[in-house]
C-alpha cells in the first residue's frame, strides 16, 4: 500500500547538516498497524511529515498505491493529503477559535462533503473518541490537552483516509482513555482496512501493532521478535 524508497531528509543547522531521516526504506500493506519508537529528536515526526506530503524529501521517494509522490504537483499533493491521509499531530494543531465540531468538519468541507452530512459525521466521530457531548461546540482553545488530542484524532478520521499517520496520539491521555483510542485505531485497521503508522512509546499500543519499527540515527529497523 505504501512503499518508502531510500528516503533522506537533511537539514542545515549552522555549518553542519543533520540527517534525521537518512536512507529509510520499508513497505506497509493495506490494513496494517505499525508503530515507530525512537529517542526524542531521532526524526520520527520528520519521517511522518514526509509520508504525509507535508514536506518534501531531500532524496528518495514515497509510493502510495502505485503513485509516486515525488512526481506529483502541489495541487495533487494537497488532494492526496485531503483524501488519503489522516494526520494526528504531536501538538494537535487544532484551529483555536473554532469549536470541536467545526474543527472535525474542516477536512470534510475541503472535500466538499454536504453540510448536513458533515455535522452528522463530526458528531459521531467525537462520540467515538469519547469527547463529552457538551464540549462538542466548545472552542478548542478551551479544551484540555487530552480533549484536544481526541478532537485531533476525530479530525484525522473525518474523510475516512486510507493511511493514518499519528504522532504520539495517546501521549496526553490517561490509561483508560488511551486504551480506548488504541482499540479504536486497531479496529479501524482490522475492520476498515485502514493502514496506520503510529509514533508511540505506549507499550499497549506497540503490543497491538502488526509491525514494530525503531528509528535510530536516521535508519529505520524493524523489531521482529514478537507479533500481534
Ligand X SMILES: Nc1ncnc2c1ncn2[C@@H]1O[C@H](COP(=O)(O)OP(=O)(O)OP(=O)(O)O)[C@@H](O)[C@H]1O
- Phi and psi based region of residue 218 (left: phi greater than 0; alpha: psi -120 to 50; beta: remaining): left
Count of beta carbons in the 10 Å neighbourhood of residue 135: 19
Q: Binding string, 179-208, against another protein, x = CB under 8 A?
A: ------------------------------
3 binds another protein (CB under 8 A): no
Q: Which residues contact 139 (CB under 8 A, 6 or more apart)?
A: 96, 97, 98, 99
Contact mark string toward another protein, 144..173, x via CB under 8 A:
-----------x---x--------------
If binding is defined by CB under 6 A, does position 60 make contact with ligand X? no
Stretch that binds another protein, among 90-98, 181-189, 194-202, 216-224 (CB under 8 A): 90-98
Partnered with residue 198 across adjacent β-strands are: 35, 166
Burial (CB < 10 A; 0-12, 13-18, 19+), residue 82, is middle
**Contact partner at residue 78 from another protein, Mg ion, ligand X, none, CB < 5 to 8 Å by partner kind:** another protein
Q: Quick one: DSSP state of residue 219?
A: E
Nearest CB to another protein, comparing residues 49 and 195? 49
**φ, ψ (nearest 5 deg) of residue 19:** -125, 80
149 interacts with ligand X by CB under 6 A:
no
Q: Which residues bind another protein (CB under 8 A)?
A: 45, 49, 52-55, 74-75, 78-79, 81-83, 85, 87, 89, 93-95, 97-98, 102, 105-107, 109-111, 155, 159
Amino acid at each position: 500500500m505504501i512503499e518508502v524508497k531510500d528516503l533522506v531528509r537533511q537539514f542545515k543547522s549552522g555549518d553542519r547538516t543533520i540527517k534525521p531521516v537518512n536512507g529509510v526504506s520499508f513497505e506497509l500493506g493495506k490494513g496494517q498497524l505499525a508503530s515507530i519508537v525512537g529517542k526524542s529528536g531521532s526524526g520520527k515526526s520528520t519521517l511522518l511529515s514526509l509520508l504525509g506530503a507535508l514536506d518534501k524529501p531531500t532524496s528518495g521517494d514515497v509510493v502510495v498505491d502505485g503513485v509516486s509522490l515525488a512526481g506529483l504537483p502541489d495541487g495533487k499533493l494537497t488532494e492526496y493529503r485531503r483524501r488519503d491521509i489522516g494526520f494526528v499531530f504531536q501538538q494537535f494543531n487544532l484551529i483555536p477559535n473554532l469549536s470541536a465540531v467545526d474543527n472535525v468538519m474542516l477536512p470534510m468541507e475541503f472535500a466538499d462533503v454536504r453540510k448536513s452530512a458533515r455535522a452528522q459525521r463530526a458528531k459521531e466521530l467525537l462520540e467515538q473518541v469519547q469527547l463529552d457531548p457538551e464540549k462538542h461546540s466548545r472552542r478548542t482553545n478551551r479544551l484540555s490537552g487530552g480533549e484536544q488530542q481526541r478532537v485531533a484524532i476525530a479530525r484525522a478520521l473525518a474523510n475516512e483516509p486510507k493511511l493514518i499517520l499519528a504522532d504520539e496520539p495517546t501521549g496526553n491521555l490517561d490509561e483508560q482513555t488511551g486504551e480506548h483510542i488504541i482499540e479504536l485505531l486497531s479496529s479501524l485497521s482490522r475492520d476498515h482496512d485502514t493502514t496506520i503508522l503510529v509514533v508511540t512509546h505506549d507499550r499497549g499500543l506497540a503490543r497491538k501493532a502488526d509491525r514494530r519499527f525503531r528509528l535510530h540515527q536516521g535508519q529505520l529497523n524493524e523489531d521482529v521478535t514478537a507479533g500481534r
